[in-house]
Amino acid sequence: MNFKEKFAGSMADRDEQKLELEPELNEALREFRLSVYAWSDAAYCRPRTALAASSRWLAGRLAIGWALACVLVVSVFSGGFWAHHQHEMRLTAARVAEHERLAAEQRRQQIRQEDEDLLAKVDSDVSREVPRAMEPLAQLMGEDESW
Amino acid sequence: MKIADVAVNLQPVRASTRVMAAGTVLDVMTMATAQKIAAEEFSAVVTKHRTQIFRFLLSSTRDIDLAETLTQECFLKAHRNWESFRGESSAMTWLMRIAINLQKDHWRNRRMQFWRKTQTNAVELDEASDWLPSGERSAEQQMLARERVGQVSKAVDGLSERQRTVFLLRYVEEQELSEIARATGLNEGTVKAHLSRALAKVRTELGGKR
């Protein structure tokens, strides 16, 4: 038998000795056992309140569930409304921009037309009012266009 | 008789039924019978050991609701694994082992979820000592006994998880050391060492330092 085995054996012997109960400790442990038995029996046979507690808990959960559902519905609707509103605003802005673009184009066309009219008028006025000294030349131009 | 034995006994019957036209029906019937027997057997085990498992878990956790929950979980787990129970140890030892593991898991999870505070029916140590049966003792003797039980409870509360389990199995459930060793998965020497340390703490608490 080596030292390790001897040591283990002596430790086991010491544990054995410590497990022997003196009468006072034995009595205390017996009382402890009886109290645990009585407590356990009472707890085992007690009227169960779990149903009431769980129903209250369930009611609480139900209320929280409804509240969350309401918040969800409201947020979905308000989100939809907000998205729709944003879309409408974007459409209106696009419409206004298109309208302004058309008006500007129209204005530009009108100005261009006015300019052209003015130039034509000037051109015709200028061509009609030939200085007297140049009239023979103008007549020649009228007769012979190729010149 | 366990389901495994029933299955073994039914083997010849099953072999002969294979050649029968209605063999499949007979097979189903024998299986149903075996399942019925197993269910009855398990039901008897539950009836026999439920209070003991509950008592161990209650004394260990000191929480009635938790003890009830763990007891239910224990039998649920046992029911799921009933077919794998081979009777190498007693049903009580097997159930106790499941209960101890469930309790360990619970404490491990509880340490992880320290933030979670739940309202429980946890009973304080001194309240447990109120359940001491009065017997035929005088008021003074009852008071002294209650005080002693309170001291033992306090000492038990101060034990490590393993020491407490071993202590309760030995001195409340009155199990043999070999049974405790099988239930806890420790060897007998370790069980003795844990018991010895637990008893030393109880002695100290009772004022009988040796």
Q: What is the ipTM of this complex?
A: 0.74
Residues in chain A: 147
Which one has a higher pLDDT value, B103 or A10? B103
Record: contact A36-B174, CB cut-off 8 A:
no
CA distance A18 to chain B (A): 6
The answer to whether residue B208 scores a pLDDT higher than 90 is: no
C-alpha B131/C-alpha A44 separation (Å) is 13
Which one has a higher pLDDT value, B40 or B112? B40
The minimal CB distance from B128 to the residues A18, A28, A35 is found for: A35
Please choose, from the candidates A55, A53, A74, the residue with its C-alpha nearest in 3D space to the C-alpha of residue A63. A55
Record: contact B189-A12, CB cut-off 8 A:
yes
The model carries a pTM of 0.57
Task: Note the pLDDT of residue B17.
Answer: 42
C-alpha A56/C-alpha A66 separation (Å) is 15
Q: B105: which residues sit within 8 A by CB, 6+ positions away? A: none
Distances, alpha carbon A145 to alpha carbons A139, B159, B161, B188, in Å: 10, 129, 125, 136
CA distance A10 to chain B (A): 11
Q: Which residues in chain A are closer than 8 Å to B196, comparing Cβ atoms?
A: 14-15, 18-19
Least confident of A86-95, B1-10, B172-181: B1-10
Record: contact A35-B51, CB cut-off 8 A:
no
The answer to whether residue A6 scores a pLDDT higher than 50 is: yes
C-alpha B58/C-alpha B66 separation (Å) is 8
Q: pLDDT for B182-201, tens place per residue?
A: 999 999 999 999 999 999 99
The answer to whether residue B62 scores a pLDDT higher than 90 is: no
Record: contact A19-B128, CB cut-off 8 A:
no
Which one has a higher pLDDT value, B86 or A61? A61
Record: contact A44-B128, CB cut-off 8 A:
no
